Amino acid sequence: MAILEVLRFPDARLRNKAMPVEKIGSEIRRIAENMLDTMYAENGIGLAATQVNIQKRVVVIDLSEKKHDPLVLINPEITKLEGCETMREGCLSVPDYYAVVERAEAIEFNYKTLENKLVTTTTDGLLAVCVQHEIDHLNGKLFIDYLSPLKRQRLQKKFDKREKQQPSVL
Ligand code: K1U
Ligand code: ZN
């Protein structure tokens, strides 16, 4: 078990674009396990490898109340987007900040499992929002990128102030 460091906005490494996983073997299984441990430790419902500075297209999600239903998505891809809905989102890389974001209401997506099985499925609601949020991370995009310029500016000021008060060791 390992808890990994979660990168926090405005860390530039959150803007990296993750590379497709070529081989699903012991390294990817270890990464997925550590990502799940980290997500549970941080009380998140999802985590993308980019957030723990691993440039591979791996996502973990668990929407169950008792945290016993993990989903590991390898090389996830959205193939269809339908409708539009708004939901209040948070992000482990943008602590203590929540905002309403507009995204597709329903999606069709595919991914590989740790057993190297290709799954194609459709979903909506919180899972659809979470999958879109996590795939954005793999592409170097954050939910705050959807905010208006004024809201982004306010948020940037808040995090600049925080950085001055508690500088991150880099
Ligand atoms: O990617 C992440 O940073 C994880 C993020 C996922 C997410 C939450 C809400 C909407 C879309 C994507 C979180 O888990 S933030 C944690 C959190 O605040 C939360 C926990 C349970 C339900 C809703 C939010
Ligand atoms: Zn996030």
Nearest CA to ligand 1 atom 12: 130
Q: Is 6 in the pocket of ligand 1 (CB under 6 A)?
A: no
End-to-end CA distance of the chain: 25
Residue 160 pLDDT: 87
77 catalytic residue (yes or no): no
Q: Is 50 in the pocket of ligand 1 (CB under 6 A)?
A: no
Give the residue from 71, 78, 85 showing the smallest Cα distance to 108: 78
Per-position pLDDT tens, the chain of length 170: 899 999 999 999 999 999 999 999 999 999 999 999 999 999 999 999 999 999 999 999 999 999 899 999 999 999 999 999 999 999 999 999 999 999 999 999 999 999 999 999 999 999 999 999 999 999 999 999 999 999 999 998 988 888 888 877 65
How far is residue 146's CA from residue 167's CA, in Å, rounded to a whole number? 26
Instruction: Name the closest ligand to CA 44.
Output: 1
Q: Which domains does the chain have, with CATH numbers?
A: 12-164 (3.90.45.10)
Kindly report the backbone phi and psi dihedral angles of residue 167, in degrees, each rounded to the nearest multiple of 5, phi listed first.
-60, 140
